[in-house]
A and B are shown apart, each in its own frame.
Chain A
């Protein structure tokens, strides 16, 4: 993992909005980040913060209408992929970039055997025969830990448990050996032990296949476990990003601190009280020019309402967007 390698994915000033009945919802509002090769990047944030929309935009899967890409660039291996024709995006999707979704119960087609759902990806992108694709698919099911893969491949999705279905989804997304895997809350719908197994699997995939992974979650505990870098999103904006180690050691945004304080942490013992962040997630419709977290922030100064803060570096590979300079670790 060389630091100076060209990032596998670069997102620059991405803006996505939705036309709804109440008005224009700016779901993603000027988001920039890089994913380096072989890295696992975590994106955290509360529900509605724009995590999924960001990644659907990368995949070119924003439903339009009501959605609209208002601007920005997405570079995959240095090549712009945002504005390219649908046919070209289709060639990338499922082949070089793939995505798995939150709910394994509904993400597989209930009417089709998983064998077909798996092999169709290979037939499409690699142009190999169904028989060969089938052998490949069985090997992949094996790799993601599905017992008796050779027999189970002809089952229907409802014959698998939730965790097994997510494994099938992961196998499906890996068939073409993509360079980038986007995992949108892949463990949220699963119970804790299964969740840990899936996380282990994703780490193994990164280590053995070298796949770069974008891991979306609202669970900071999960982020600490597997992500090299972490990005904190709020109301369509990035408020803090950096190496996971640095971000957890010295969270520099009140929102990040709030998030950290609202999850139980083993390393701090029991002294620390769990405190939820007060207030509700933001209303994306009427946007003030300032920081979207302002109404819920305990540290706000006048400036916060006037202008969104510029990037400020707090450490090597650790940036924050906040007017207030916080001291010490708030853990």
Chain B
């Protein structure tokens, strides 16, 4: 088990490296640069910034500088990143430093992630909770009352949920609950009343998926021979459900929850933009638009690590739920 975890974590290193490399060069392929958008700075200042951030070095040098504590910048003690006073050299992501943001002067990518991530986790966590409750309960009911109005009703709702993208659902909810009924605020993140619409918008599609997976998984297990055995033993239906079918029936949901959790917790780009939630997703969009290379790279790297970690957690959880899974 420990060996399995170590192996998986080691295997993650090349994966992350490939992701970083690909993102790095893809970003540079995109036309424009960090200082194109806001031409408020004078050419001299921009030139200054360019040397400071080493944007005029050859690409491979920039790449190596980004990666590690490699002093490849002639004439300077590494790339000086902060406040122009050279107080903190940027030592590269291998040392855990995501570097400075190109757009937000005087801020490091690390501090931006540290600021946006808690908000994203908050929103994502609530959306996750919403999705699990609103997915599993109707899914279970649908499976246990197959081919009844309950089943058809919840599955139609789930179908609808799967097919409405959140950039449609969000504005729709705002239109109804904020602009027509005046029940809930349309945007921002200032208190519980503000949390409701973004949570629903973000969680709805996941709830729909979970409902379908729960129903499918349960129906699959309910017709297994061992459930008939449980009945033949005289067990009451409630115990059969709780002890014999739930575990197997929820396995598909568990494996879906891994990547879903990663996606939810790292912030939803679209939902954060719609509702002006100050989470990581919004920074990511702004970063991409502004060609804020380091910010985008940092967020991508952070997101990928989360994804890898959560998938590992799911695999371990899977092993606890299904004894046939071995870690060799």
Contacts and interface: CB of A to CB of B under 8 A. Distances in A.
Interface of A: 59, 61, 90-95, 98-99, 101, 103, 106-113, 116, 120-121, 124-125, 156, 158, 169, 172
A59 B243 CA distance: 22
A93 B323 contact: no
Interface stretch (B61-69, B193-201, B220-228): B220-228
Contacts of A124: 233-235
Interface in B196-244: 224-226, 228-236, 239, 243-244
Contacts of A108: 226, 229
Contacts of A116: 243
A90 B229 contact: no
B232 A112 contact: no
Contact of A107 (B229, B247, B322): B229
B321 A111 contact: yes
A124 B243 CA distance: 13
Interface residues of B, number: 21
Contacts of A99: 232
B243 to A, nearest CB: 7
A54 to B, nearest CB: 15
* Residue of B231, B233, B243, B324 contacting most chain A CB atoms (<10 Å): B233
Nearest to B324: A158
A125 B235 CA distance: 9
Nearest to A125: B234
B324 A101 contact: no
B323 A156 contact: yes
B322 A120 contact: no
A59 B231 CA distance: 9
A116 B247 CA distance: 15
7 contacts: A90-B234, A94-B235, A98-B233, A109-B226, A109-B230, A112-B243, A158-B324
A106 B226 contact: yes
B225 A59 contact: no
Contacts of B230: 109
Contacts of B234: 90-95, 121, 124-125
B124 to A, nearest CB: 30
A92 B248 CA distance: 27
A89 to B, nearest CB: 8
Contact of A110 (B226, B228, B236): B226
Given A109-B244, A110-B226, A98 B232 contact: yes
Given A90-B234, A110-B324, A124-B234, A101 B248 contact: no
Contacts of B231: 61, 93
B232 A93 contact: yes
Nearest to B246: A111
B235 A110 contact: no
Contacts of B229: 101, 107-109, 169
Contacts of A169: 229
B225 A110 contact: no
A124 B234 CA distance: 8
Given A107-B229, A109-B244, 7 more contacts: A90-B235, A93-B231, A93-B234, A106-B224, A106-B225, A107-B225, A110-B248
Nearest to A93: B234
Nearest to A111: B247
| Overall SS of chain B's interface | helix
Given A101-B229, A110-B226, A120 B235 contact: yes
A110 B233 CA distance: 16
B131 to A, nearest CB: 24
Contacts of A112: 243-244
Contacts of B225: 101, 103, 106-107
A61 B323 contact: no
Ordered nearest first, which 5 A-B pairs have the shortest CB separation?
A94-B234, A93-B234, A94-B233, A106-B225, A109-B226
Contacts of B232: 59, 61, 93-94, 98-99, 101
Nearest to B251: A111
B233 A120 contact: yes
Nearest to B244: A109
Contacts of B228: 61, 101, 107
Contacts of A113: 323
Contacts of B224: 106
Contacts of B322: 110-111
Contacts of A172: 233
A156 B226 CA distance: 13
Contacts of B248: 110-111
B152 to A, nearest CB: 16
Contacts of B247: 111
Given A93-B231, A94-B234, A125-B234, A120 B243 contact: yes
A265 to B, nearest CB: 33
B318 to A, nearest CB: 11
Contacts of A156: 323-324
A120 B239 CA distance: 10
B23 to A, nearest CB: 41
* Residue of B230, B236, B247 contacting most chain A CB atoms (<10 Å): B230
Nearest to B326: A158
Interface in B284-328: 321-324
Contacts of A61: 228, 231-232
A90 B233 CA distance: 8
Contacts of A103: 225
A180 to B, nearest CB: 12
A125 B231 CA distance: 13
Contacts of B243: 112, 116, 120
A158 B235 CA distance: 23
A93 B236 CA distance: 11
Contacts of A94: 232-235
Given A106-B224, A106-B225, A106-B226, A111 B233 contact: no
